[in-house]
Amino acid sequence: MRILNVHDAQQTILRRRAWDEINVPPRLLDGIEAIFGQRITPDEAVRRILADVRGRGDDSLREWTLRIDGVALDAMAVSPAQIAAAYEQLPGQVVDALRLAAQRVEAFHRRQPAVSWIHNDEQGTLGQLVRPIQRVGAYIPGGTAPLPSTVLMTAIPARVAGVEHVAVITPPRRATGLPHPAILVAADIAGVNAVYIGGGAQAIGALAFGTASIPAVDKICGPGNIFTTLAKRQVYGIVGIDGLPGPTETLVIADDGADPQLAAADLLAQAEHDVLASAILLTPSIRLAKLVQAAVLSQLEELERAEIIQGALANNSGIVVTESLAQAFDLANAYAPEHLCLLVDDPWSHLGQVRNAGGVFLGERSFEVLGDYVAGPSHTMPTGGTARFASPLNVLDFVKIVSVVGVNEAALQAVGPAAETLARTEGLTAHAAAVARRLRGSG
56 within a domain of the structure (yes/no):
no
Query: Is 412 found in the same domain as 372?
Result: no
How far is C-alpha 264 from the chain's CA centre?
A: 25
Query: Is 207 found in the same domain as 274?
Result: no
Last residue of a domain, one of 241, 262, 283: 241
8 within a domain of the structure (yes/no):
no
Q: Which of 387, 379, 376 is nearest to 334 (CA)?
A: 387
Query: Is 325 found in the same domain as 209?
Result: no
CB 108 within 8 A of CB 371: no
Query: Is 320 found in the same domain as 231?
Result: no
71 within a domain of the structure (yes/no):
no
Alpha helices per DSSP H over 251-340: 260-271, 286-300, 306-315, 325-335
CB 214 within 8 A of CB 169: yes
For residue 276, the model assigns a pLDDT of 86
Last residue of a domain, one of 223, 241, 259: 241
* Beta-sheet pairing, 219-221 with 135-139: parallel
Kind and range of the H or E run holding 129? strand 124-132
Last residue of a domain, one of 179, 212, 241: 241
Query: Each residue of 380-428: pLDDT tens digit?
Result: 999 999 999 999 999 999 999 999 999 999 999 999 999 999 999 999 9
Query: Each residue of 138-151: pLDDT tens digit?
Result: 999 986 678 999 99
Sign for the CA dihedral angle at 351, 353, 359, 364 comes to negative
For residue 19, the model assigns a pLDDT of 66
Query: Is 207 found in the same domain as 117?
Result: yes
Note if the pTM is more than 0.75.
yes
Query: Is 253 found in the same domain as 185?
Result: no
> Please, what is the Cα angle at 215 between 211 and 221, to 5 degrees?
110
Query: Is 380 found in the same domain as 291?
Result: yes
Going residue by residue through the chain, which has 443 residues, state the pLDDT in tens, using 9 for 90 and above. Answer: 999 999 999 999 999 987 666 677 788 889 999 999 999 999 999 999 999 999 999 999 999 999 998 999 989 999 999 999 999 999 999 999 999 999 999 999 999 988 999 999 988 999 999 999 999 999 999 866 789 999 999 999 999 999 999 999 999 998 899 999 999 999 999 999 999 999 999 999 999 999 999 999 999 999 988 899 999 999 999 999 999 988 899 999 999 999 999 999 999 999 998 888 999 999 999 999 999 999 999 999 999 999 999 999 998 999 999 999 999 999 999 999 999 999 999 999 999 999 999 999 999 999 999 999 999 999 999 999 999 999 999 999 999 999 999 999 999 999 999 999 999 999 999 999 999 999 988 65
In whole angstroms, what is the distance from residue 359 CA to residue 158 CA? 19
Query: Is 209 found in the same domain as 96?
Result: yes
Domains: count for the chain: 3
Domain that residue 220 falls in: 80-241
Mind telling me the catalytic residues? 338-339
Query: Is 158 found in the same domain as 111?
Result: yes
Query: Is 429 found in the same domain as 348?
Result: no
100 within a domain of the structure (yes/no):
yes
424 within a domain of the structure (yes/no):
yes
Question: For residue 155, what is the domain's CATH number?
Answer: 3.40.50.1980
Query: Is 197 found in the same domain as 322?
Result: no
99 within a domain of the structure (yes/no):
yes
